[in-house]
Chains A and B, each alone.
Chain A
Amino acid sequence: MSKYSLLIKTLFRQQFRLDKSNKSSKSAKIGVYIAVALSGVILIPLIGFSTWNMATIAVQYQLEQEFLSIIFMGIQVLTLIFGTIMLVNTMFFSRDNEYLSVLPIKPQTIFFSKLFYVIVNELMLAGTLGAVAVIILGIVGKLGVAFYILGLISIVMSALLPLLVSSLLLFPLMYIMSYIKRSTTLSSILSVVAFVGFMAIYMYFIGNMESVIDPTDPNAIILMIQNFGQMLFFNYSLAGVVMLSEGLVRNLLITLGVYGIAFVVTYFMSSIVYKRGLVMQSEKSETKVKKVGYQQISLLSSLIKKDFKEMKRDTSVLFQCGMSAIMAPIMIALVFGLTYKDMGIDGEAASVLVNTIGVFFIIFMTIGTNIAATSAITRENRCFYIMKLIPVPYEMQIKAKQYLAVTIAGVGIILGTIVCMIFGMHILLGICLIINCLLLAYGFSAFQIKLDLDRPKLNWDNFAHAVKNSRASLLTMLVTMVVSLIAVALSAAPMIVSIFFEMEIGMVSSILISQGLLFILAVIFTAIMRNSIYKKLDYYFDKLEV
């Protein structure tokens, strides 16, 4: 047990310990904690409000067990989405694996310590939201102390199950990955396909769920609670145990059986294959590179080429940085293709939605999630010193970073707009949107690189951990959300004006007015952002002492 606690303690110290000697690191971490707390303050009442109504109906029709089962399902979906990525990165792609594999610690001890670390991290979000829902059900149903105690324990249990199942699926997957990791492109494509497949199933599920529920019909909600609540027998049984419902012994046996089997199988699998998996991941693999001779290209091209090659030859970096280019068009296609179709939206209504929601998606998903820009300096990691060493003005180095980031975002913008056009976006709007978004992407890249340059993470062992919840990513998402909402408002403004003032504004005029205004906004934003970083480059670089 002491080795478990030692490992767990070390993992958490690595994550949470503040560098007391470094004031900026301390304030940065405190800033992130405050941002997380504020998000919680906003999110929890929202979840609480929507849960309250459902809980009231569930209690009224004695469907508490079913409702609790749905809460567990929600926790599991959240854990599956966010936890699996963290699980892969922590279990298999973390650089401490090589070090840990030579220590006199059993592989299953390493495995379960890391699993505990992941589950605690995931419970911060899924567990908090789940606890809010459980407490609300307890209040509405006037349930006793036993419910709250068992309910909170069951939240941890329900989050644990998808991680155990994911781990079991990951063992063979990691074996396959270790064989194909010579090809970064192939493994990145596989990662994207897996992610997109998962998202498609999720969207289909959500789409179907929305199509079967008529929120105005209480019977539909009752039916939905019944169906979804009993869909997963192990959640239903666990809920039965928490509610101390009829058939307690049977429910208890099912719960113990399911969790026991999952735990025992994972324990034995981890003891047999985890160490081998770790070793295989740690083995030096050589990505095939094209044989080249002496070549001379321009300085700017050389800087961009170097950065791009470093990015594309690292699966984790390529996946994170290329996500905005690939995911935006796919997500737009999924949203418009599955959800709206199932909701029966078509014709002019669909066109209006695509012209407004499409604008939001393109800006938010390509620019707001452009990790290539928010990790421009962080990506350099321990090689950052080379940026300061080489006889190249900082302006040119940052320009190279900006061009690469805008190119990646540009792919997403163009593909995303084409997808929107397929779903009915006006061609003129599409063309204007591409120009405006490219301009915005350039301005935002300056903003994003400035944020990263201000506080980069330069000593990371795991890229996904380095960029997860980074200040640059969080702030960028907030600002792009505001800008994309402004863009949506501008898109809708001529239409609203025409209705309100009973004026006749044609589609073409409407697009030209809204996109013209967006263009002016983009030019001003880009000029301000570009100025703010290039004027103070020496200051930012000088303060980074490596």
Chain B
Amino acid sequence: MLKIENFSKTYKSTGKKAVENLNLELFPGEIFGLLGPNGAGKSTTIKTVCGILACEEGTITINGYDLKKQTIDAKLSMGYVPDNHETYDKLSGMEYINFMADVYGVSIEDRKARGDKFIKIFNLEEAINKQIKTYSHGMKQKIVVIGALIHNPKLWILDEPMMGLDPSSAFELKEAMRQHASEGNTVCFSSHVLEVVEKLCDRICIIDDGKLVAIGKIEDLKGNSGDNSLEDYFLKLTGGTEA
């Protein structure tokens, strides 16, 4: 589903090496958690996989498509939810959904079926014809999620998705992630909330200072290290810095 091989990333403007020789493979039907301290390289990795940052070193394959050579096909098969929820806020929710559906080539029948389903799940019926700029933080997150799922992507990537969400919105989002993975798709997200990662993820990886330091099932990782919680394991591995 997603294969990252020998990926390294250096920012041209600052010359800082953000990720170094990263190798990773994600499989169909799993929820994968990306952990790491602030500035570890999680967002850089996610943004590169999504095509927002250029991939100069290494290979990234999404659903069999090489991101560098088959960029459009690779992008068509994934959906992305950014950490800041920045979107076209002068549009109404429905206009945004229509725009994203046009962009991903979703038929009118499919966009209606998926759109109605998600609008109902996320309780956006009242707000859907209002401008996004009037939405609350959680509502913005939800509309961006609908935009990312409108084409039913095989790979769904979320950057810090739980940040700033109220408990009910967080619950709805977690349910949507579980549902998407249960349909044979892959969900990959980065998070600072270790409890959420522990409950939701099938596998995780920990990145520290741009390097992969651990990967596997949570139970296996904890068992091998002898730690009781993911938090203890994480803190030990990253030198005590917070996630």
Contacts and interface: CB of A to CB of B under 8 A. Distances in A.
Partners in one complex: yes
Interface of A: 21-24, 284, 286-287, 289, 291-299, 302-303, 305-306, 309-310, 313-314, 382-383, 385-386, 388-393, 542-543, 545-546
B67 to A, nearest CB: 12
B80 A391 contact: no
Interface stretch (B126-134, B181-189, B203-211, B225-233): B126-134
6 contacts: A294-B97, A383-B87, A391-B73, A391-B75, A391-B104, A543-B12
A391 B155 CA distance: 14
Contacts of B91: 306, 309-310
B12 A296 contact: no
A389 B48 CA distance: 10
Nearest to A293: B94
B194 interface: no
A231 to B, nearest CB: 45
Contact of A382 (B52, B84, B105): B84
A313 B131 contact: yes
A389 B99 contact: no
A391 B97 CA distance: 15
Given A310-B88, A545-B12, A391 B103 contact: yes
A389 B52 contact: yes
B166 interface: no
Given A293-B94, A391-B76, A284 B101 contact: no
B13 A22 contact: yes
Interface in B174-223: none
Interface stretch (B25-33, B34-42, B106-114): B106-114
Contacts of A385: 47, 52, 82, 86
B60 to A, nearest CB: 14
B90 interface: yes
B11 interface: yes
A542 B13 CA distance: 12
A292 B115 CA distance: 13
Contact of B75 (A314, A389, A543): A389
Given A309-B91, A391-B75, A392-B103, A546 B52 contact: yes
Contacts of A302: 98-99, 102-103
A391 B104 CA distance: 7
Interface in B24-76: 47, 50-54, 71-73, 75-76
Contacts of B101: 294, 296
Contacts of A286: 130-131, 133-134
B102 A299 contact: yes
Nearest to B44: A545
Contacts of B73: 391
Contacts of B224: none
Contact of B80 (A295, A310, A314, A389): A389
B20 interface: no
A393 B51 CA distance: 12
B86 A382 contact: yes
B102 A297 contact: yes
A289 B92 contact: yes
B82 to A, nearest CB: 7
Contact of A545 (B13, B51, B87, B107): B13
Given A542-B54, A543-B12, A309 B75 contact: no
Contacts of B71: 391
Contacts of A386: 87-88
B87 to A, nearest CB: 6
Interface in B104-163: 104-105, 107-108, 111-112, 115, 129-131, 133-134
Nearest to B75: A391
B95 A292 contact: yes
A96 B130 CA distance: 25
A298 B107 CA distance: 11
A302 B106 CA distance: 13
A296 B108 contact: yes
Contact of B86 (A294, A314, A383, A393): A383
Contacts of B133: 284, 286
A390 B52 contact: no
B17 to A, nearest CB: 14
B54 A545 contact: yes
B168 interface: no
Contacts of A289: 92, 95, 129-131
A284 B131 CA distance: 10
Contacts of A294: 94, 97-98, 101, 108, 111-112, 115
A260 B68 CA distance: 67
Contacts of B51: 388-389
Nearest to B9: A545
Contact of B53 (A297, A313, A545): A545
Most buried by A among B14, B75, B102: B102
B103 A393 contact: no
A545 to B, nearest CB: 6
